[in-house]
């Protein structure tokens, strides 16, 4: 054997020996040095069951490793087996190259012990901190390449020891596979393709990806999948207190995420995939239901997070149930979920209009939105002002508001923001047992442009009872709403513009009396056809309004309260306090003085089959009456000042006494206009005995009333004539009443009656509607009262009322010294004779008077002209003759007109020198009395 060969063999043997020795020495040193270092530097224990090293393949395998917690036997980190193999290329490439890494059954326990203090924080304090100089000296990176990385059946426990319930999260069956990852230059362009799967708190999570972590662009693509995450568990252990209790719910998602950043372009974060929420149940902290959801499925085409561009394929919401509650203090349940926000002045000033204009608006596109089987439950314990809602008795508890909306379905397509794209949509819901509401159309979100048609069928109006204002004391017993309304709304730069059209019907309407809970207002059918209008300027046109089979019941309680006035009750001054001043009614054109007038037009208003009943219990005896067959038409209603609507209405009181109302009106203009003629015939007065007994002190034995009225209102001025005729009016027995008038009504009636037993009165009324002291009823009552008073105090002034004029019938005047009647006064005497002839109960007394200063000389001159040779003149005797001659001249003039009144005209002796209150002393005075 040559020397060279021998040396070679010796070298090989030595090398092999050294290599074989490393199989013993290296594992021994790893176990010894590792355990010793841990023992010397920490309060932990490191246990390694077995270490194997193959110097020929450079493969390490460590088995049965356990690192304990500080001063404890509990494991902090443990694994069953760790194997890695070093590639010989490491020397050539001057890099750490591991050809294979395998980790079996790893376990890590992480505990949060305090603020920024974990169970591994002792390790972070061991190495100290590198100085800035040391960091700056690092120029070349440490190159590495790890290949065929396999982690299997891993486990991680995380425990929050700072929380009251020691929140714990677990990861089980953690599997990770990475074919290759490294920063060697030739590997930088290669994708790192990791695969991860695990169970996070029993929810399966998977992730795959393609990454270039060491390239300047940092290109990353990940696919994440989560199945069956228990939301109730995470909510229960949330580190932040939640305003709601999550009772149940699961989360699933399949998400693809791409992240790209480079030195030349801004970062991009792209997202797409699917997210599903299932069986969600939320409640208030006191356990009351708040929200339930069968499922929510969101499919995302792509979202550019940094550019705020979101393209959603679909959003499906199935079976949502929303519970909206308001407690007795007026607080809403959802309002309590929003934490109060404090905005300082500095915060407000920090946002300027320029900042807002510079904000990048998010771009949203949703191809399909679907909500199915939704429900809304509304419950309200709050009563504004503390008033009770129950209408029957004040002692009854306040009524709680409840409303449910079921079968709520909503569909929409191609929703976009801020791009202006038409998006079709449809909405359907069931309200109550029978009510259906459907809406369909298109919408542009920005700027808003809505084109839609709504159809309401059999909506039960009593559902609105609990939503009426607290001061409304009436309620709806029945009523169903049907409507078809089309709208076209468009948001312009400075206003909302649009128009609407359609029709509306309300059937079987029944509004209850707030006092006795009886029927107050009801109808069989109300139709509004041909509705059209605009939003700006505001206008409304209705082709036809038809009300049929309607009933109105007006009642006055024994306390004098009218049921109509009791519909609303103001929360204001107590009884006996100063009344609130009533302001002038605001008309359509006064609603917005600065804007254009509201244009309102109703072509035809038709009434048919109406019945109005009136009951007054505020009397000695209850009075009741009913108007039947109220109907007719009003055509051409308009808010235009020059337009006059034609009125033709009719009815029958107690199916006997006809009522007609004809003329023209304009109630919708700035100032009310009316020119109406009202005829009310053959009204039996005997049923009015409860009123006559209470206010006159007599019952009515018989009598029939006829009314012919004309009312003209223009420029806020009223001018009216009231022609009244009462036939065969006879009072009966007296009635004791504290409210009875002291006026001599019984005396006035026979004086007012004519020869046919009729009483004719003409009562003119005029006044200013803006005068708070003026009222039509009060004026008429005053006129009637004055008529009766004049019968007693000045009967002759009554004649003016009987013939409807302003002439003075208290007497006539004569020329000085004469007893002949001036022709101009004969007309007045003729009218007086007619009144006497038609009123046989009237008796007239005639008294003559002279003027002591003027009559003697004029009378002497008149006598000398008649008899120049006359004798001496006895002034006293002659003046007595003159006064008597004047009275006889008047009597004869009246008798000439009507011979039958001769027996009821008497000459009455009086002091002929008595001066009148006003006018000439040369006169004849009349006095009227009754038989």
The string of DSSP letters for 237-265 reads T-SS--SSEEEEEEEEEEEEEEEE--SSS
HSE-CB of 74 using CA atoms within 13 angstroms: 11
Question: Measured between alpha carbons, how far is 636 from 63 in angstroms, rounded to an integer?
Answer: 101
Which band of pLDDT confidence, cut at 50, 70 and 90, is reported for residue 795?
low
Question: Measured between alpha carbons, how far is 443 from 426 in angstroms, rounded to an integer?
Answer: 10
Q: CB count, 10 Å around CB of 435?
A: 20
Question: Measured between alpha carbons, how far is 279 from 229 in angstroms, rounded to an integer?
Answer: 12
Q: What share of the chain is helix, strand, coil (3-state, %, to 5)?
A: 20, 50, 30
Return mean pLDDT, the chain: 83
The tens digit of pLDDT for each residue in 630-656 reads 999 999 999 998 999 999 999 999 999
User: What's the pLDDT at 780?
Assistant: 62
Residue with the larger pLDDT of the pair 204 and 217: 204
Which band of pLDDT confidence, cut at 50, 70 and 90, is reported for residue 352?
very low
Q: Boundaries of CATH 3.30.1330.60 in the chain?
A: 811-930
- Least confident span in 274-283, 353-362, 577-586, 893-902: 577-586
Which contiguous run of DSSP H or E holds residue 880? helix 875-897
The tens digit of pLDDT for each residue in 569-607 reads 655 444 434 443 444 444 444 445 555 678 999 999 999
233 φ, ψ to 5°? -65, -45
- Least confident span in 56-65, 343-352, 745-754, 860-869: 343-352
CA 16 to chain centre: 95
Report the candidate in 923, 778, 784 with the shortest Cα–Cα distance to residue 852: 923
User: What's the pLDDT at 785?
Assistant: 62
pLDDT reading at 479 higher than 90: yes
Question: Measured between alpha carbons, how far is 500 from 528 in angstroms, rounded to an integer?
Answer: 14
148: which residues sit within 8 A by CB, 6+ positions away?
A: 99, 100, 101, 179, 180
Which band of pLDDT confidence, cut at 50, 70 and 90, is reported for residue 84?
very high
User: What's the pLDDT at 651?
Assistant: 94
Q: 3-class SS at 392?
A: coil
Which band of pLDDT confidence, cut at 50, 70 and 90, is reported for residue 430?
very high
CB 223 within 8 Å of CB 205: no
For residue 208, with 0-12 CB atoms within 10 Å meaning exposed, 13-18 middle and 19 or more buried, which class applies? middle
Question: Measured between alpha carbons, how far is 838 from 789 in angstroms, rounded to an integer?
Answer: 21
DSSP of 602-661, one letter per residue? Answer: EEEEEEEEEEEEEEE-SSSS-EEEEEEEEEEEEEEEESSTT--EEEEEEEEETTTEEEEE
DSSP of 810-839, one letter per residue? Answer: SEEE--TT--SPPHHHHHHHHHHHHHHHH-
- For 289-347, the three-class secondary structure string (H helix, E strand, C coil) is EEEEEEEEEEEEEEEECCCCEEEEEEEEEECCEEEEEECCCCCECCHHHCCCCCCCHHH
The CATH homologous superfamily to which domain 811-930 belongs is OmpA-like domain (3.30.1330.60)
Give the mean model confidence (pLDDT) for residues 875-879: 85
Strand order in the sheet with 923-930: 811-813, 923-930, 842-849, 905-907
pLDDT reading at 83 higher than 90: yes
Report the candidate in 506, 501, 505 with the shortest Cα–Cα distance to residue 530: 501
Question: Measured between alpha carbons, how far is 393 from 382 in angstroms, rounded to an integer?
Answer: 19
Report the candidate in 488, 487, 524, 493 with the shortest Cα–Cα distance to residue 508: 524
User: What's the pLDDT at 800?
Assistant: 58
Residue 282 structure tokens: 């939320």
The tens digit of pLDDT for each residue in 698-748 reads 898 999 989 998 989 898 888 888 888 989 888 889 888 888 888 778 777
CB 73 within 8 Å of CB 122: no
How many residues can be counted in the chain?
931
Give the mean model confidence (pLDDT) for residues 210-234: 85
Percent of the chain whose predicted confidence (pLDDT) is above 70: 84
Residue 818 structure tokens: 């004469």
Give the mean model confidence (pLDDT) for residues 420-447: 92
User: What's the pLDDT at 357?
Assistant: 46
- Look at strands 363-380 and 321-326 and give their pairing: parallel
Report the candidate in 75, 76, 50, 78 with the shortest Cα–Cα distance to residue 63: 50
pLDDT reading at 794 higher than 70: no
Percent of the chain whose predicted confidence (pLDDT) is above 90: 39
Q: 3-class SS at 233?
A: helix
CA angle centred on 143, ends 141 and 148, rounded to 5° = 145
pLDDT reading at 416 higher than 70: yes
pLDDT reading at 264 higher than 60: yes
431 φ, ψ to 5°? -115, 120
- Least confident span in 556-570, 580-594, 814-828, 867-881: 580-594
CA dihedral sign, ordered 822, 824, 826, 832: negative
User: What's the pLDDT at 617?
Assistant: 85
Core vs surface per residue 4-19: b (16+ CB within 10 A) or e = eeeeeeeeeeeeeeee
pLDDT reading at 834 higher than 50: yes
711: which residues sit within 8 A by CB, 6+ positions away?
A: 674, 675, 676, 678, 718, 719, 720
Q: How far is CA 140 from CA 183, 184, 350, 451, in A?
A: 12, 12, 46, 67
Q: 3-class SS at 590?
A: helix
Q: Which long-range contacts (CB under 8 A, 24 or more apart) does 476-479 make?
A: 476/509, 476/510, 476/511, 476/512, 477/510, 477/511, 477/512, 477/519, 478/508, 478/509, 478/510, 479/506, 479/507, 479/508, 479/509, 479/510, 479/511
pLDDT reading at 135 higher than 80: no
Question: Measured between alpha carbons, how far is 908 from 181 in angstroms, rounded to an integer?
Answer: 142
Which band of pLDDT confidence, cut at 50, 70 and 90, is reported for residue 185?
confident
Core vs surface per residue 223-242: b (16+ CB within 10 A) or e = bbbbeebbbbbbbeeeeeee
Greatest distance between any 2 Cα atoms in the chain = 215
Q: How far is CA 664 from CA 287, 588, 647, 676, in A?
A: 64, 19, 6, 6
User: What's the pLDDT at 793?
Assistant: 54
Return left, alpha or beta for 282; rule: phi > 0 is left, psi -120 to 50 is alpha, else beta: beta
Determine if the peptide bond prior to 418 is cis (ω within 30°): yes
pLDDT reading at 397 higher than 90: no
For residue 762, with 0-12 CB atoms within 10 Å meaning exposed, 13-18 middle and 19 or more buried, which class applies? middle
pLDDT reading at 374 higher than 80: yes
Q: CB count, 10 Å around CB of 218?
A: 14
Residue with the larger pLDDT of the pair 261 and 683: 683
User: What's the pLDDT at 203?
Assistant: 93
pLDDT reading at 273 higher than 80: yes
The tens digit of pLDDT for each residue in 485-514 reads 999 999 998 889 999 999 999 999 999 887
User: What's the pLDDT at 586?
Assistant: 44
Report the candidate in 441, 433, 381 with the shortest Cα–Cα distance to residue 405: 433
Question: Measured between alpha carbons, how far is 332 from 487 in angstroms, rounded to an integer?
Answer: 32
For residue 726, with 0-12 CB atoms within 10 Å meaning exposed, 13-18 middle and 19 or more buried, which class applies? buried
Question: Measured between alpha carbons, how far is 642 from 71 in angstroms, rounded to an integer?
Answer: 101
Which band of pLDDT confidence, cut at 50, 70 and 90, is reported for residue 128?
low
């Amino acid at each position: 054997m040559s020397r060279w060969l021998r040396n070679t063999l010796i070298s090989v043997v030595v090398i092999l020996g050294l290599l074989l020795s490393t199989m013993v020495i290296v594992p021994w040193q790893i176990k010894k040095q590792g355990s010793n270092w841990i023992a010397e530097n920490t309060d932990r224990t490191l246990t390694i069951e077995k270490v194997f090293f193959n110097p020929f393949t450079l493969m390490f395998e460590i088995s049965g490793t356990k690192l304990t917690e500080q001063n404890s036997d509990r494991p902090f980190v443990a694994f069953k087996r760790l194997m890695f193999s070093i590639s010989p290329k490491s020397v050539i490439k001057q890099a750490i190259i591991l050809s294979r890494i395998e980790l079996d059954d790893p376990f890590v326990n992480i505990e949060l012990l305090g603020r920024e203090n974990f169970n591994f924080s002792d390790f972070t304090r061991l190495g100290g901190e590198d100085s800035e100089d040391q960091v700056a000296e690092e120029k070349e990176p440490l190159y590495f390449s790890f290949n065929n990385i396999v982690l299997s059946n891993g486990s991680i426990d995380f425990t929050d020891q700072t929380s009251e319930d020691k929140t714990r999260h677990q990861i089980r069956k953690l599997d990770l596979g990475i074919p290759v990852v490294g920063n060697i230059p030739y590997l930088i362009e290669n994708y790192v393709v990791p695969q991860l799967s695990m169970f996070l708190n029993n929810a399966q999570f998977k992730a795959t990806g393609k990454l270039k972590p060491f390239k300047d662009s940092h290109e990353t693509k990940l696919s994440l999948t989560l199945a069956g995450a228990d939301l109730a568990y995470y909510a229960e252990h949330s580190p932040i207190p939640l305003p709601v209790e999550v009772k149940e719910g699961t989360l699933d998602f399949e998400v693809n995420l791409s992240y790209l950043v480079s030195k030349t372009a801004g970062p991009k974060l792209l997202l797409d995939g699917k997210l599903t929420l299932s069986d969600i149940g939320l409640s208030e902290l006191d356990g009351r239901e708040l929200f339930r959801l069968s499922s929510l499925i969101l499919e995302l085409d792509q979202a550019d997070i940094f550019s705020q561009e979101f393209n959603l394929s679909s959003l499906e919401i199935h079976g949502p149930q929303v519970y909206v509650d308001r407690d007795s203090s007026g607080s809403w349940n959802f309002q309590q979920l929003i934490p109060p926000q404090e905005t300082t002045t500095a915060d407000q000033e920090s946002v300027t209009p320029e900042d807002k204009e510079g904000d990048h608006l998010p771009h949203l596109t949703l191809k399909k939105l679907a909500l199915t089987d939704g429900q809304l439950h509304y419950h309200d314990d709050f009563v504004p002002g503390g008033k009770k809602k129950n209408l029957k008795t004040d002692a009854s508890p306040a009524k709680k508001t409840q409303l449910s909306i079921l079968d709520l379905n909503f569909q929409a397509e191609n929703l976009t923001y801020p791009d202006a794209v038409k998006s079709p949509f449809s909405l359907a819901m069931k309200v109550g047992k029978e009510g259906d509401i459907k809406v369909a159309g298109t919408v542009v979100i920005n700027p808003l442009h809505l084109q839609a048609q709504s159809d309401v069928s059999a909506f039960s109006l009593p559902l609105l009872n609990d939503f009426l204002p607290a001061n409304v004391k009436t309620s709806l017993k029945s009523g169903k709403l049907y409507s078809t309304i089309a709208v076209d709304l468009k948001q312009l730069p400075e206003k909302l513009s649009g128009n609407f059209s359609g029709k509306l019907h309300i059937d079987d309407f029944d509004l209850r009396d707030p006092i006795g809970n009886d029927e107050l207002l009801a109808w069989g059918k109300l139709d509004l056809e041909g509705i059209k209008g605009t939003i700006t300027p505001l206008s409304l046109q209705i082709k036809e309004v038809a009300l049929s089979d309607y009933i109105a019941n007006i009642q006055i309680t024994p306390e004098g309260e009218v049921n109509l006035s009791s519909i609303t009750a103001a929360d204001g001054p107590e009884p006996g306090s100063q009344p609130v001043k009533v302001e002038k009614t605001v008309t359509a054109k006064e609603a917005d003085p600065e804007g254009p007038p509201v244009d309102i037009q109703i072509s035809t208003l038709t009434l048919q089959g109406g019945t109005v009943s009136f009951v007054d219990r505020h009397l000695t005896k209850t009075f009741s009456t009913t108007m039947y067959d109220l109907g007719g038409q009003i055509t051409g209603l308009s808010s235009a000042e020059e337009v006059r609507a034609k009125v033709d209405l009719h009815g029958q009181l107690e199916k006997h006494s006809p009522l007609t109302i004809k003329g023209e009106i304009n109630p919708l203009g700035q100032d009310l206009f009316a020119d109406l003629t009202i005829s009310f015939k053959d009204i039996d007065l005997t049923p009015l005995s409860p009123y006559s007994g209470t206010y006159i002190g007599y019952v009515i034995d018989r009598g029939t009333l006829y009314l012919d009225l004309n009312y003209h209102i223009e420029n806020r001025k009223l001018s009216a004539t009231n022609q009244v005729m009462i036939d065969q009016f006879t009072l009966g027995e007296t009635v004791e009443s504290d409210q009875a008038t002291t006026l001599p009504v019984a005396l006035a009636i026979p004086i007012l009656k004519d020869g046919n037993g009729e009483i004719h009165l003409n009562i003119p009324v005029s006044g200013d509607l803006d005068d708070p002291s003026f009222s039509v009823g009060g004026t008429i009552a005053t006129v009637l009262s004055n008529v009766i008073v004049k019968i007693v105090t000045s009967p002759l002034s009554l004649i003016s009322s009987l013939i409807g004029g302003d002439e003075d019938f208290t007497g006539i005047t004569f020329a000085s010294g004469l007893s002949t009647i001036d022709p101009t006064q004969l007309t007045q005497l003729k009218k007086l004779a007619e009144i006497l002839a038609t009123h046989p109960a009237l008796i007239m007394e005639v008294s003559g008077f002279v003027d002591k200063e003027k009559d003697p000389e004029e009378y002497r001159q008149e006598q000398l002209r008649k008899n120049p040779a006359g004798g001496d003149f006895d002034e006293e005797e002659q003046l007595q003759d003159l006064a008597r001659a004047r009275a006889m001249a008047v009597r004869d003039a009246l008798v000439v007109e009507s011979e039958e009144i001769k027996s009821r005209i008497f000459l009455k002796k009086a002091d002929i020198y008595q001066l009148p209150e006003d006018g000439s002393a040369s006169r004849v005075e009349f006095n009227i009395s009754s038989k």
